[in-house]
Structure 1
Amino acid sequence: MSSGPCVSLNTGTHIPLLGLGTYKLVGAESVFQAVDAALAAGYRSFDSAAVYRNEADLGRALKELLPKYALTREDVFITSKLGPKDQGAGAMERALRSLSELDVGWIDLYLIHWPGTQGLDVTDQRNPSNRAASWAALEELHSQGKLKAIGVSNYTPTHMRELMKSSKVPPAVLQVEFHPRLAQPELRALCSEFGVFFQAYSSLGQGELLTDPVVLEVAKTCSRTPAQVLLRWAVQQNIGVLPKSSSPERIKTNAAIFDFSLSDEDMSKLSALDCGQHFCWNPSHVL
């Protein structure tokens, strides 16, 4: 499927370690340009979401561009996510709408984007039951083959344990914020225990980590960009990454992370930066 390394999910499906994140990638032209550059650079995985409002544009871009690179639908891995406003009773309808908008036959991975429900307080008792209803809808679509794998995003250890106890189909993937300052050891241990693939977003700390002195020092040592160092730190631990960019040159550069390795010393220096810092939303207060 991918020109880069893949890992096997608990469904037997293979997912590339590297994917293109499409958050804030809006408009048919911007999506087309980014997908074109990504396919040229060897990306075979594309991460979207209902709240990104680009599913239809992503689907159209892939349909048009796959033949250009002598690829078929089976050669790419497409992820999308259920938005918080559709959590619960609206999950089935929204997932089917994502499938329709992408218009790619099936979705390789579909995630519950957030453990809470839009419009409810984070401590509202309905949040757990809405999550359970969403998961049941995803399990049904998975059984029909419309969603090849299902998983979650932004779940805490408490949410993960709750899901593992109640689910008929265990999650295949957990996607969370992950970078040297937020190493998520408890979540990673749980994923290892449950056989769930751990996938990172915001690997660059929303750009903040690109100027971190330790990251800059390691980048200088191995003659790589700070972004490449941060992405390599993750994939060297068998953690998936989803760097997002609209720049064709940066998309290409971000893909060049499989032809070098970080030393044990450099890995340790980066890992020592962990201080539990979130740059994105923190789901820890969602009941």
Structure 2
Amino acid sequence: MSSTHPVLLNTGVQMPILGLGTYKLVGCEEVYQAVDAALVAGYRSFDTAAVYRNEADLSRALKELLPKYGLTREDVFITSKLGPKDQGEKAMEGALCSLSQLDLGYIDLYLIHWPGTQGLDVADKRNPGNRAQSWATLEELHAQGKLKAIGVSNYTPAHMRELMQSCKVPPAVLQVEFHPKLLQTELRKVCEEYGVCFQAYSSLGKGELITDPVVLEIAKNCERTPGQVLLRWAVQQGVPVIPKSSNPERIKDNGRIFDFTLSDADMDKLSALDCGRKYCRDAALVV
């Protein structure tokens, strides 16, 4: 069974709509266990980042587990991200470090993790220049085939428009916080306008949304977990998700989102929860 259900990126590459997020997965053992459970459950996409400090552990796990399940490197889609400390002049060093840590020949999707630069104030006028320099570096590595697709994370509509005006290669993906309490309507319109795939993280609102009364009621009525309902709400709109978990049972549960459909009424009830609530760091302050 495969839960890839791919979405087509503007590079012509297909990305699975479901992936395993690895934020806070620490150490060989925890990463191995999560990757093993995910592969069994049909996941074929794995999302990491330089700041997660688990790229090498993910690589080791995949090298050991892919042959076990008769899979090859080409069967999985790997996303990683440039750390804010490497924004600008250090972007090449940061990206090459990710390539080396992952040691998988190439990275399927590489994102600028954050619009700001570590150590600079959010209002520092050097931030736009650093972003532009990072993007030019990613374009160079994309041209060399080391990064099959490039994109951004946590960009606002203003950051996206700025990038689109200067880039040679448009971003393939924008990865941001997205759930029923944060519909990101303007960002989604910008992505649609520019042909950029809009991808969600924090689909469960850092776990807080699974106790929301509306989510619980819908989950009960369709005999699903609240997590499955929240993930289904996103993928039913064509939005890729990367739920993170270290629990094998939860990883399996989160993968079971393709054998049921939410009614239009339930979709509307969930979307009506929108209140602009952000559970994660807000990039809107970064110039």
Same fold, TM-score > 0.5, yes or no: yes
Match of 2:243 in 1: 243
- Indicate if the aligned counterparts of 1:41 and 1:252 stay in contact, CA closer than 8 A: yes
- Equivalent residues in 2 for 1:86-165, closer than 5 Å: 86-165=86-165
| Offset from partner CA, 1:200-237 (integer Å, 9 cap, x none) | 00000001100000000110111100000000000000
The CA deviation at 1:4 is 2.9
- Equivalent residues in 2 for 1:181-260, closer than 5 Å: 181-260=181-260
* TM-score, L = length of structure 1: 0.99
Identical-residue share of aligned pairs (%): 77
| Offset from partner CA, 1:17-68 (integer Å, 9 cap, x none) | 0000000001000000000000000000000000000000000100000001
Match of 2:26 in 1: 26
Paired with 2:130 and 2:2, the residues of 1 have a C-alpha distance of: 35
Match of 1:62 in 2: 62
Paired with 1:87 and 1:38, the residues of 2 have a C-alpha distance of: 31
- What letter matches 1:269 in structure 2? K
Paired with 1:263 and 1:123, the residues of 2 have a C-alpha distance of: 44
Paired with 1:195 and 1:228, the residues of 2 have a C-alpha distance of: 28
- Indicate if the aligned counterparts of 1:210 and 1:226 stay in contact, CA closer than 8 A: yes
| Matched position secondary structure for 1:199 | strand
| Matched position secondary structure for 1:108 | strand
| Offset from partner CA, 1:176-219 (integer Å, 9 cap, x none) | 00000001000001111111001000000001100000000110
Paired with 1:52 and 1:220, the residues of 2 have a C-alpha distance of: 35
* TM-score, L = length of structure 2: 0.99
Matched pairs, number: 287
- What letter matches 1:68 in structure 2? K
Within the alignment, does 1:6 sit opposite 2:31 as a pair?
A: no
- What letter matches 1:159 in structure 2? H
Paired with 2:183 and 2:18, the residues of 1 have a C-alpha distance of: 18
Which runs of no fewer than 5 residues in structure 2 stay unpaired? none
Paired with 1:64 and 1:236, the residues of 2 have a C-alpha distance of: 33
Match of 1:166 in 2: 166
- Indicate if the aligned counterparts of 2:3 and 2:18 stay in contact, CA closer than 8 A: no
Match of 1:77 in 2: 77
Paired with 1:282 and 1:236, the residues of 2 have a C-alpha distance of: 26
Paired with 1:102 and 1:10, the residues of 2 have a C-alpha distance of: 24
Paired with 2:146 and 2:103, the residues of 1 have a C-alpha distance of: 11
The CA deviation at 1:2 is 4.9
- Indicate if the aligned counterparts of 1:2 and 1:76 stay in contact, CA closer than 8 A: no
- Indicate if the aligned counterparts of 1:2 and 1:75 stay in contact, CA closer than 8 A: no
Paired with 1:94 and 1:4, the residues of 2 have a C-alpha distance of: 29
- What letter matches 2:264 in structure 1? D
Match of 1:274 in 2: 274
| Matched position secondary structure for 2:199 | strand
Within the alignment, does 1:37 sit opposite 2:29 as a pair?
A: no
| Matched position secondary structure for 1:238 | coil
Distance 1:3 1:211, change over 3 A: closer
RMSD: 0.8
- Indicate if the aligned counterparts of 2:111 and 2:152 stay in contact, CA closer than 8 A: yes
| Matched position secondary structure for 1:110 | strand
